Amino acid sequence: MKDEKRTRFRLEPIDWILIGAVVVLFFVCTILPGLSPTWWGRCLWLLDLRVWPPWKCFVMVVVVLQAVLLIRFWPEK
């Protein structure tokens, strides 16, 4: 028989920070249209890729690459 060991998954502080950021962004994006339709329109305008200038696309690529590298090379304990 195989001697299988079960490992217990434990969330690290960075995991809690990322989960918290996702929850905050979710609630902000659900509450924002009701509170301020003007700001919601500006938020959608910022996210509309059809009107992005090249510099905004470049900055977004850099931010995504930094996030991926941070997640990939996060130091172990």
Q: Is the pLDDT of residue 14 over 60?
A: yes
No. of H helices and E strands in the chain?
3, 0
pLDDT digits (tens, 9 = 90+) for 19-74: 888 898 888 877 777 777 777 777 777 777 788 788 888 888 888 888 888 877 77
In which domain, by residue range, is 24 found?
Answer: 14-72
Residue at 77 is within a domain:
no
How many structural domains does the chain have?
Answer: 1
Query: pLDDT tier at 2 (50, 70, 90 boundaries)?
Result: low
b vs e for 10-44, b when ≥16 Cβ sit within 10 Å of the residue's Cβ?
Answer: eeeeeeeeeeeeeeeeeeeeeeeeeeeeeeeeeee
**Which one is predicted more confidently, 3 or 59?**
59
Residue at 41 is within a domain:
yes
Q: Is the pLDDT of residue 3 over 70?
A: no
Query: pLDDT tier at 6 (50, 70, 90 boundaries)?
Result: low
Residue at 56 is within a domain:
yes
Contact yes or no for 15/71 (Cβ under 8 A)? no
